[in-house]
């Protein structure tokens, strides 16, 4: 997916949020905005939003000197999600269709996002998503595909959401390779966040080799690409992964909440809608 | 009121909206965003938001070559408001307290805003505002003050909202000097918009002498300032006027909807709340 002009004010807003998460010094935060302003004319619209987002966040890190502005927010998200885990797991297991409930719960976890969705209210948002239906719902295709799959490539998104992913992985009961970002970027899950979420107990965790908030294949490691090319079922969580993979011809299930109007338009849904979308490139279901 | 760092992403968003209203050429719109990006480091935070907003919109005009990007949207807003006028006037006259209903209706008209609030839904928003109470409500002080007032200085805001102002002016039944912007800026009302709204039938219309979306006193004309200094009751509509007058020690009634978190914080209300706020500088009621 290309960068849309609407993404530009959003990049500035996200940079401001990240700068505030990094430091408490208004002058420094102002300096971040000034720097990002200068970057605008260098944004290539033919690149995906995560490729630009990566540059924006790197500028925030450079100006503030803070390597991981979201470190404590990520740890807090994981703690909050782990506290919810027992009750949610119970709810999934007791539901009529545990696999579907777990998939929807994994989407609900996607509300934990200090990039596109910093105003989330975890418990209320989970409840709302579990009570509504995904607007695009390829759950049956997902269940069918899962039946014949040997190994799942699961591309994670945010820290905290990882705990919800763990529940889905437990319910799927298949070998899973779980993909994290190479370095801290926004509140995206890194190896450390995945381990803190207990994903190492249920999956093999690998890095994409890229430090942007998505999986820009031209920048990912060969090791990740080997997994990606041979996978017969890929789960892609969240907007950033969708933005970098949407043109791909691979058997990908996108589990996400459309948090911004650009993504909503791209998916043909309304902002705020959730989707379980199967897309095999041009031959999308 | 000073400019807040949160205003900066909002300026970019508003510039994008204005550029789109001006032209249909993505390259030109991109050029606007690049130019605004370069301007960020020149924004003086000690200036009020309308002073910066003015520079931003002037840049949009320069890059696009379109003198008044909102010309047709303003005309459409006035037409839509005039179509509602008979029903609304009837509703005001038939209400228990016509002056209060007219004041709240004048606030409802403030939703017509292609700067801070471009997603408004006119009729639904009016209904919602009329059904709810202003969160800060100095209506009784307003009524009392009005009783002893010889002439009202009424500082208008947006085109279309002007029609709602006309109803309040009719109900107040006092001589009114109505203030418009010197030149087109966003969808703020100019002399032409005020006349098209029929305000010339109920008030004397003057220009503030300034072409920003507010009344920056240091830039307003001496003629406006003469009215401003001697007025014993000033009605200030909307955010831009509040942002430029909030530190003033004059008998000002602010009628507005808090459309953004910065204004909401400044007023001690929630975003989306409406207020009829009397502030006599430090001795605010």
The full 3-state SS of B100-164, as one line of letters, equals HHHHHHHHHHHHCECCCECCCCHHHHHHHHHHCCCCEECHHHHHHHHHCCCCEEEECCECCHHHH
Residue A129 Cα, gap to closest chain B Cα (Å): 25
Q: Residue A143: which residues within 8 A CB-CB, separation 6 or more?
A: A99, A100
- Which of B260, B253, B259, B258 has its CA nearest to residue B276? B253
In angstroms, the CA B22 to CA A25 distance is: 37
Kindly state the helix (H) or strand (E) to which residue B178 belongs, with its residue range: strand B176-180
- Suggest the residue from A2, A5, A24, A32 to mutate for an interface test with chain B (most B CBs closer than 10 A): A5
Number of helices and strands (H, E) in chain A?
Answer: 12, 7
Does the structure show a pLDDT above 80 at A117? no
pLDDT digits (tens, 9 = 90+) for A182-221: 999 999 999 999 999 999 999 999 999 999 999 999 999 9
Please answer yes or no on whether B12 and A9 come within 8 Å at the CB atom.
yes
Question: Could you tell me the sign of the dihedral formed by the alpha carbons of A149, A155, A158, A163, in that order?
Answer: positive
Contact B38 A37 (CB under 8 A): yes
Inter-chain touch A41–B34, beta carbons under 8 Å: yes
What is the nearest CA distance from A150 to chain B, expressed in angstroms? Answer: 46
Burial class, B230, CB count within 10 angstroms (exposed 0-12 / middle 13-18 / buried 19+): exposed
Using the structure block, give the residue that is written with the tokens 């303003």. Answer: B74
Among A49-53, A263-267, B118-122, which stretch is predicted with the lowest mean pLDDT? B118-122
Q: Which of B75, B74, B103, B72 is nearest to B88 (CA)?
A: B103
Q: Does A283 touch chain B (CB under 8 A)?
A: no
Query: Within 10 Å of residue B97's Cβ, how many Cβ atoms?
Result: 12
Average pLDDT in the B209-238 region? 97
**Checking DSSP bridges between strand B176-180 and strand B152-155, what pairing results, if any?**
parallel
CB-CB neighbours of A283 under 10 Å: 9
pLDDT given for residue A281 in this prediction: 53
- The kind and range of the H/E element at A19 are helix A7-22
Higher pLDDT, A131 or B29: B29
Percent of chain A with pLDDT over 90: 90
DSSP A124-166: HHHHHHHHS--SEE-HHHHHHHHHT-S-EEEE--BTTHHHHHH
Contact check, Cβ <8 Å, B41/A38:
yes
Retrieve residue B114's tokens.
């292609």
What is the number of H-type helices and E-type strands within chain B?
12, 7
| Angstroms from B47 CA to nearest CA on chain A | 15
Q: Which residues of B are less than 8 Å from A9 in CB distance?
A: 9-10, 12-13, 16
* Eight-state DSSP code of residue A4: P
Dump pLDDT digits (tens) for A236-279: 999 999 999 999 999 999 999 999 999 999 999 999 999 999 98
All residues of chain B having their beta carbon less than 8 Å from the beta carbon of residue A39 are 37
Tell me which residue in A13, A29, A40 faces B33 most closely, judged by beta carbons: A40
* Rounded Cα distance, B247 and B216, in Å: 11
When scoring A7, A14, A40 by the number of chain B Cβ atoms within 10 A, the one with the most, hence best to mutate, is A40
CB-side neighbour CA atoms (13 Å) of B104 = 26
Residues 32-61 of chain B whose Cβ lies under 8 A from any Cβ of chain A: 33-34, 36-41, 45
Q: What is the C-alpha to C-alpha distance for residues B28 and B251, in angstroms, rounded to an integer?
A: 45
Task: Say which residues have a Cβ less than 8 Å from residue A173's Cβ, sequence separation at least 6.
Answer: none
């Amino acid at each position: 997916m290309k960068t849309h002009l609407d993404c530009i004010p959003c990049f500035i807003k996200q940079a401001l949020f990240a700068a505030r998460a990094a430091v408490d010094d208004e002058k420094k935060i102002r300096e971040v905005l000034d720097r990002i302003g200068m970057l605008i004319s260098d944004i290539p619209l033919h690149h995906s939003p995560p490729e630009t987002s990566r540059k924006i966040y790197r500028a925030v890190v450079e100006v503030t000197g803070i390597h991981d502005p979201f470190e404590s927010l990520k740890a807090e998200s994981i703690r909050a999600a782990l506290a919810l885990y027992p009750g949610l797991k119970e709810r999934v297991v007791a539901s009529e269709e545990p696999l579907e409930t777990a998939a929807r719960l994994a989407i609900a976890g996607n509300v934990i996002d200090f990039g596109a969705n910093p105003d989330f209210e975890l418990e209320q948002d989970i409840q709302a998503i579990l009570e509504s239906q995904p607007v695009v719902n390829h759950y049956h295709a997902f269940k069918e595909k899962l039946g014949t799959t040997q190994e799942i490539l699961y591309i994670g998104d945010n820290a905290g959401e990882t705990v919800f992913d763990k529940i889905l992985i437990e319910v799927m009961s298949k070998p899973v390779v779980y993909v994290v970002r190479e370095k801290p970027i926004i509140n995206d899950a890194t190896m450390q966040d995945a381990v803190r979420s207990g994903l190492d107990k249920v999956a093999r965790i690998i890095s994409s080799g890229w430090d942007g908030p998505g999986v820009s294949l031209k920048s990912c490691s060969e090791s990740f690409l080997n997994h990606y090319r041979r996978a017969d079922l890929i789960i892609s969580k969240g907007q950033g992964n969708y933005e970098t993979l949407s043109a791909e011809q691979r058997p990908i299930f996108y589990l996400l909440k459309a948090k911004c109007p650009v993504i909503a338009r791209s998916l043909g849904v309304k902002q705020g809608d959730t989707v379980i979308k199967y897309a095999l490139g041009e031959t999308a279901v």
